[in-house]
Structure formats: structure tokens, C-alpha cells
Amino acid sequence: MYDVQEDQKVKLASLEFLDYAMQWWHQIVMDIGLNKRSLVVSCYDLKECMRARFVPPHYRKELLLKLQRLQQGPMSVDEYYVEHGSFDEPNL
């Protein structure tokens, strides 16, 4: 993906859409052609369009509240590391 231009990344990503997402994307493309919507030229633009359509407005607020309520358990980070090993690989 490093040698792919940003607008081509959007095209490649949209090829993976299925069912309703594909219908939604075709409508976005039509709206762009009719100048009802600005161009989607980057992956960032695509993600913003997708968030606006598919992520409920309350979701971000819920995630922020969940983060604010996040608490560390009784072990220190070092104790957890000793007990569970590397953070990169789960203990099986």
C-alpha cells in the first residue's frame, strides 16, 4: 500500500464493500458526480464518511465514558508482566 496514491487507496478499499455498504458507496459516488457532496480523496475522508453513516452518535460518548472509568486492577504493570509474560503474545 506504500506505493499506492491516496485516491487509489479509496478505490481499492471501496472494492471490499458488500451489500448495504456497497449500495451506500454507490450513492456517495453519485452524489459526488452531482456536486451534492465533496470529493472523497483520502482514506481519512472515507473513514469520516463511514463514521458519519455507520457509527451511532452516542458511540463516541460511550467510549469516552468507558475510558474515563477505566481502572487498573490490584497488580502493578511489572507484576502483570511477570505473571503474563510478554504483552505482544497472549499466554495460551
Whether residue 54 lies inside any domain: the answer is: yes
- In this predicted model, what pLDDT tens digit does every residue of 68-90 receive, in sequence order? 988 888 888 888 888 877 655 54
Grid coordinates belonging to 82: 511477570
- In this predicted model, what pLDDT tens digit does every residue of 8-42 receive, in sequence order? 899 999 999 999 999 999 999 999 999 998 889 88
The neighbour count for residue 46, using CB atoms within 10 Å, is: 19
Q: How confident is the model at residue 92 (pLDDT cuts 50, 70, 90)?
A: very low
Number of domains in the chain: 1
Give the whole-angstrom CA distance, residue 51 versus residue 34: 22
**Contact criterion met (CB below 8 Å) for 48 and 40:** no
Whether residue 1 lies inside any domain: the answer is: no
Of 80 and 53, the one with more pLDDT: 53
- Domain holding 29, by residue range, is 6-84
**Contact criterion met (CB below 8 Å) for 69 and 75:** no
